Chains A and B, each alone.
Chain A
């Protein structure tokens, strides 16, 4: 069983569209995250939820809205997609105190055309 699964794996969409990507973890972790990886492989945290409560909200455009219906799921909705949103988005999860590290999903590559 995949520990952290993301869907879809690839998403190609036109500018201005609204899209959602989903993440699910079956590890029993309390905390989930969204990271954005740019073309230079730089990883930037976007959001973090602990047991459905938002605990990290970095400087991300309001067009990005995370939702956590339960502690095993964290979705990301993006309104009015822009060219600069093209990137790979990684979901991750960890125990409440993350010093054992995170478990990452395999990523969703979004290409905005």
Chain B
């Protein structure tokens, strides 16, 4: 089946540090890949996406590259701010399936001033 695996545990880092959140996937077919962000008390917002191999999604200083050879879609940001504190979810969707968006377990990111 289709699934997404995110690294375990929360991520705590200082302002201006480099952020990486790992995401790997298993999919039948050729998935689209997404990162969603959930700020405290809010719903999920699409952060970025990539629909084919080697595509790079980017938004608000975040980037992720669709790596078919390693089945990965790691999220990175070069210099985080306190306002980036949120939960980040990796997800995939397989075209021509039943539209199911498979989510990873999410990573809580806490940025300390």
- The binding surface of chain B is classed by DSSP as strand
Write the residues of chain A forming the contact surface with B, with a CB cutoff of 8 angstroms: 4, 31, 33, 40-43, 45, 48, 50, 55-56, 90, 92, 94, 96-107
Q: A99-B32, A101-B32, A101-B49 are in contact. Are A48 and B99 (CB under 8 A)?
A: yes
- Within the complex, the shortest CB–CB distance from A42 to chain B, in Å, comes to 6
**Which chain B residues border A94 with CB–CB below 8 Å?**
99, 101
Let me know if B93 and A41 touch, CB within 8 A. no
Interface size bracket, B side: 20 to 34
Pair count A-B, CB < 8 A: 69
B residues whose Cβ falls under 8 Å from a Cβ of A: 31-32, 34, 36, 38, 42-46, 49, 51, 87, 89, 91, 93-96, 98-101, 103, 105-106, 108
Q: Compute how far the CA of A96 lies from the CA of B98 in the bound complex, rounded to whole angstroms.
A: 9
- A105, B49: Cβ atoms closer than 8 Å: no
New A-B contacts (6) at CB < 8 Å, excluding given A92-B101, A100-B32, A104-B43: A31-B99, A41-B108, A98-B100, A99-B93, A101-B36, A104-B45
CA distance A104 to B44 in the complex (A): 6
Shortest C-beta distance, B112 to chain A (Å), equals: 20
Contact partners of B42 in chain A: CB under 8 A = 106-107
A97 to B45, Cβ gap below 8 A? no
* Known contacts A42-B106, A90-B44; A101/B38 CB under 8 A: no
Q: How far is the CA of A4 from the CA of B49 in the complex (A)?
A: 20
Complex CA gap A48/B103 in Å reads 15
C-alpha spacing A9/B99, complex, angstroms: 26
